């Protein structure tokens, strides 16, 4: 079992839809939770980061963390074709005497005009 599970998709939605992207994890020691967006042939771009359970909002994006269920989500409101990308969740863990990010496999999102 992977430490971080993420549905690879692809997820196809019409423009304007609300998108829900999710990750589950097994290690209760994970602390910081992050969402990255990666366009094809580009490096990941940090979208949001959060530490505690609850919601964090930034424009059209809302990150949600439920530590009791080991479940995190990213919601995108009023989705746009420009949101079409791969979305990676990431979590920080203490491993081998250092902090490392553990990534999900990424979910490909396609927003249809």
**CA angle at residue 2 from 42 to 76, to 5 degrees?**
50
**Residues numbered 14-33 forming contacts with other proteins, rule: CB under 8 A:** 32
CB of 64 to other proteins, least distance (A): 16
**Residues numbered 78-97 forming contacts with other proteins, rule: CB under 8 A:** 88, 90, 92, 96
CB of 94 to other proteins, least distance (A): 11
From candidates 49, 61, 71, 75, binder to other proteins by CB under 8 A: 49
Of 14 and 43, nearer to other proteins (C-beta) is 43
Gyration radius of the chain over CA positions: 14
CA distance 38 to 58: 18
Contact status, residue 4 vs residue 101, Cβ threshold 8 Å: no
Residue whose C-alpha is closest to residue 101's, from 4, 2, 9: 4
- Residues forming contacts to other proteins in the complex (CB under 8 A) are 8, 32, 34, 36, 41-46, 49-51, 88, 90, 92, 96, 98-101, 103-106, 108
């Amino acid at each position: 079992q992977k430490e971080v599970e993420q549905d690879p998709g692809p997820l196809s939605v019409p423009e304007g839809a609300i998108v829900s992207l999710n990750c589950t994890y097994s290690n209760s020691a994970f602390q910081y939770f992050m969402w990255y967006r990666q366009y094809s042939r580009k490096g990941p771009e940090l979208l949001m980061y959060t530490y505690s359970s609850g919601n964090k909002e930034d424009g059209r994006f809302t990150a949600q963390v439920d530590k009791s269920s080991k479940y995190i989500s990213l919601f995108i409101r009023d989705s746009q074709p420009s949101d079409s990308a791969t979305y990676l969740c990431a979590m920080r863990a203490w491993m081998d005497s250092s902090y490392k990010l553990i990534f999900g496999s990424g979910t490909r999102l396609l927003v249809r005009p």
